[in-house]
């Protein structure tokens, strides 16, 4: 249902003339199926519609009752339960079902909702505002609060357009960009925040209160047999894929040929085939002329295509894009420092738009947990005294890889134990020393040891939802919604209880999803041990722009970035090592310097 917006003058002064017109202008790109605004003297709420089916097209939003105004970006998955509990009409839209849930449970309704949502309920009688995000944070919601005004929006630019205080750059956003370690609620503006997943926000009597309503808790799943765990995962992935498939528009998927996207593609293809519908796949491959060391995933992509008879494949080379084209435009779309493959993301979305895709699936997030490699598992089993289980797994690796048992022990136990005992040094030669020192102590470069604790921490903090929320914003600029089923709440709760040995069972890393998808994903894809790059000619693309990179380092336009945050020493290209991590950091520094120059030009205060 696309974007929502709200502004409340806490002093109860009249909204400035032209407020409604400005609202419509700022988020016009999200109004694929229209804009509706409700306003009172000092309050305005808006809905920018992207309808996924005919019922949503007919639904008037914001939804108005005698005492409430509701604006919502919402998809509810547990409709049957909610209809039973609330008595709502069976054919009602999700926003109407939300209204009935609110009438029954008030603020506690969020504990009964399953799906993806970011919504606002304004009570005209009590003059209170209630905001909520879904458990994971699939739909973005930003807010700004001051003594005079409260603003919220699905996009940060909607808040920035009305925020009265000067825009101040938040340097923590650079730490997040380089290391993915910072406060998940922070944005690039020091005064604008994200309402992360699993939170509610109440504005009453001019005071704002945020409450965490959901915590990831295990203990719901208990199976004795490994096969039961695998079958349960399969069922949950099927359910997560099916729940998101509520559209009468063409459906697509970004297919890399890896385990995660192939899993989603095969399941989605089967479901759509039963409805006599096609599945459009979009995959990045190498152009005809490429470096001899480069390879792509075409072989595995074609295997999936042969396996799925209703799959219509589109290959994307992004020949017309360089890795530095449209950096500022990408920042405007993503509202964060763009990832280094943004050019390929853009090319794939353009291709999907040409096919009129309205819902685009992705396998993103699988390797976070569902298809985790499990590198420290055997070492942890030894450390915890589960020697028999560890020994069985070691023998399985030895047999499958045809390697001697001492070699497996060295790799899986000795090397892993050394990593735990010797923390990785935290260095960042691509950043200014003083800037990096301010945050160094809070950073860790060590690998994940306890996947359950790590992921539960990310779910609690809201970090898990950062990228899916960005995808939702980005995709809707192209007229389509995103679907990220492998981070579904039910799957996340299930994964808390999964026994660790399942990640490395049978002599394979990422073993859990492999065994769960037997008979669904082709064996040649399912049991592959290699992994290709998302944009396969990325290294060559960067190397071709060495002159541009050197110009950035010497440019007066970017001097602020290199004086305060970035180091010119980070702008290096190693032409002998095509896998050098420095290439990635160089690319990030170019992107960061361009964005900082743009923000300074817009009047942001750069500390």
User: Average pLDDT for consecutive 10-residue bins of the chain (607 residues)?
Assistant: 92 89 90 93 95 90 96 96 96 96 98 98 97 98 97 97 92 95 96 98 97 96 97 98 96 97 98 97 90 87 97 94 92 95 95 97 96 97 97 97 96 91 79 94 87 97 97 94 97 98 97 98 95 84 88 90 91 63 88 96 91
Indicate which CATH number applies to the domain containing 265. 3.40.50.620
DSSP codes of every residue in 47-79:
EE---SSHHHHH--SSEE-SSEEEEEEEEES-H
Q: Which residues lie across from 131 on neighbouring strands? A: 120, 201
**Is position 199 within any domain?**
yes
Is the domain of 302 the same as that of 359?
yes
Q: From residue 168, give the alpha-carbon distance in Å to each of 7, 173, 277, 409, 592.
A: 20, 12, 49, 52, 16
Same domain, residue pair 64 and 180 = yes
Between CA 206 and CA 147 the distance in angstroms is: 7
Q: What pLDDT does 2 receive?
A: 86
End-to-end CA distance of the chain: 38
Residues 574 and 596 in one domain: yes
Question: 293-296 long-range CB contacts below 8 Å, 24 or more apart?
Answer: 293/578, 294/536, 294/537, 294/539, 294/540, 295/532, 295/536, 296/532, 296/536
Q: Which of 212, 235, 251 is the last residue of a domain?
A: 212
Count of domains for the chain:
3
Burial call 102-114: b when 16+ CB within 10 Å, e when fewer: beeeeeebbeebb
Helices (H), 61-148: 79-86, 94-105
Interatomic CA distance for residues 360 and 483, integer angstroms: 6
- What pLDDT, on a 0 to 100 scale, did the predictor assign at position 446? 82
Sign of dihedral through CA atoms 284, 285, 291, 295?
positive
User: Of 152, 186, 212, which residue constitutes the final position of a domain?
Assistant: 212
392: in domain: no
CATH number of the domain encompassing residue 7: 3.60.20.10
pLDDT value of residue 576: 52
268, 235: one domain:
yes
Is 231 found in the same domain as 197?
no
Of 58, 57, 92, residue with least CA distance to 76: 92
In a domain, 322, yes or no: yes
262, 255 Cβ separation under 8 angstroms = yes
Domain endpoint, select from 190, 212, 234:
212
> Are residues 190 and 312 both part of a single domain?
no
Identify whether 433 is part of a domain: no
- For residue 394, is it within any domain? no
Name the nearest CA neighbour of 598 among 163, 8, 167, 106. 167
Which residues span the domain enclosing 320? 226-370+448-526
CB 118 within 8 A of CB 4: yes
- Note every long-range contact of 298-304, with CB atoms under 8 Å and residues 24 or more positions apart, other chains counting: 298/257, 299/257, 300/257, 300/258, 300/262, 300/524, 300/525, 300/528, 300/532, 301/255, 301/256, 301/257, 303/257, 303/522, 303/524, 303/525, 304/255, 304/257, 304/262, 304/265, 304/266, 304/521, 304/522, 304/525
Q: Could you tell me what percentage of the chain is helix, strand and coil, using 3-state DSSP and rounding each to the nearest 5?
A: 45, 15, 40
Residues 172 and 246 in one domain: no
Asked if residue 130 belongs to a domain, the reply is: yes
The answer to whether the annotation marks 94 as part of a ligand binding site is yes
Q: Is residue 112 part of a domain?
A: yes
d(CA 310, CA 353): 19
Residue 99 and residue 177 in one domain: yes
* Whether residues 84 and 152 fall in one domain: yes
Note whether residue 75 is domain-resident.
yes
- 234 lies in the same domain as 138: no
Residue 282: strand, helix, or coil = strand
Alpha helices in 367-510, H assignment, sequence order: 377-383, 387-401, 405-409, 415-421, 433-437, 451-461, 466-476, 489-495
307 and 456 share one domain:
yes
The size of the chain, in residues, is: 607
Together in a domain, 148 and 238: no
């Amino acid at each position: 249902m696309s974007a929502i917006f709200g502004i409340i003058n806490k002093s109860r002064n009249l909204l400035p003339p032209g407020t409604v017109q400005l609202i419509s202008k700022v988020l016009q790109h999200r109004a694929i199926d229209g804009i509706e605004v409700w306003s009172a003297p000092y309050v305005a709420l808006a809905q920018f519609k992207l309808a996924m089916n005919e019922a949503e097209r007919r639904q008037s939003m914001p939804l108005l009752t005698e005492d409430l105004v509701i604006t919502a970006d919402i998809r509810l998955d547990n409709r049957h339960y909610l209809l039973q509990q609330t008595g709502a009409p069976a054919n009602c839209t999700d926003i109407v079902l939300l209204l009935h849930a609110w009438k029954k449970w008030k603020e506690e309704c969020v504990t009964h909702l399953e799906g993806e949502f970011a919504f606002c309920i304004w009570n005209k009688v009590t003059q209170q505002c209630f905001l909520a995000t879904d458990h994971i944070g699939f739909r973005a919601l930003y807010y700004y609060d001051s003594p005079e005004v409260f603003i919220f929006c699905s996009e940060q630019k909607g808040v920035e357009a009305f925020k009265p205080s000067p825009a101040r750059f938040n340097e923590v956003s650079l730490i997040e960009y380089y290391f993915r370690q910072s406060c998940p609620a922070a944005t690039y503006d020091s005064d604008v925040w994200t309402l992360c997943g699993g939170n509610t926000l109440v504005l009453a009597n001019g005071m704002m209160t945020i409450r965490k309503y959901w915590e990831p808790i295990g203990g719901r799943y208990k199976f004795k047999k490994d096969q039961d765990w695998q079958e349960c995962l399969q069922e949950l992935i099927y359910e997560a894929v099916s729940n998101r498939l509520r559209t009468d528009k063409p459906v697509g998927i970004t297919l890399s040929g890896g385990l995660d996207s192939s899993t989603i593609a095969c399941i989605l293809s089967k479901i759509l085939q039963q409805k006599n519908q096609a599945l459009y796949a979009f995959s990045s491959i190498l152009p005809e002329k490429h470096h001899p060391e480069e390879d792509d995933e075409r072989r595995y992509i074609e295997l999936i295509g042969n396996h799925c008879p209703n799959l219509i494949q589109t290959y994307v080379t992004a020949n017309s894009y360089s890795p530095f084209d449209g950096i500022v435009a990408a920042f405007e779309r993503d509202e964060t420092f763009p990832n280094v493959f943004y050019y390929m993301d853009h090319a794939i979305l353009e291709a999907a738009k040409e096919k009129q895709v309205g819902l685009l699936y992705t396998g993103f997030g699988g390797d976070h947990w569902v298809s985790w490699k499990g590198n420290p598992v055997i070492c942890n089993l030894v450390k915890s005294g589960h020697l028999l289980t560890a020994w069985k797994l070691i023998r399985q690796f030895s047999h499958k890889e045809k390697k001697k048992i001492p070699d497996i022990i060295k790799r899986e136990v000795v090397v892993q134990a050394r990593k735990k005992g010797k923390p990785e040094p935290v260095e960042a030669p691509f950043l200014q020393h003083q800037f990096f020192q301010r945050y160094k102590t809070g950073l860790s470069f060590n690998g994940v040891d306890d996947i359950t604790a790590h992921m539960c921490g990310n779910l609690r903090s809201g970090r898990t939802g950062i990228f899916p929320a960005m995808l939702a914003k980005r995709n809707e600029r192209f007229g389509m919604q995103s679907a990220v089923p492998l981070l579904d709440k039910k799957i996340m709760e299930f994964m808390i209880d999964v026994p660790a040995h399942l990640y490395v069972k049978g002599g394979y890393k990422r073993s859990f999803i492999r065994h769960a998808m037997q008979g669904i994903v082709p064996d040649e894809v399912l049991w592959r041990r290699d992994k290709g790059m998302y944009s396969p000619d990325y290294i060559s693309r960067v190397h071709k722009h060495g002159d541009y990179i050197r110009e950035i380092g010497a440019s007066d336009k970017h001097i602020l970035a290199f004086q305060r945050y970035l180091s010119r020493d980070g702008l290096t290209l190693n032409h002998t090592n095509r896998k050098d991590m420095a290439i990635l950091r160089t690319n990030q520094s170019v992107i960061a310097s361009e964005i900082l120059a743009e923000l300074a030009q817009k009047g942001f205060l750069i500390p």
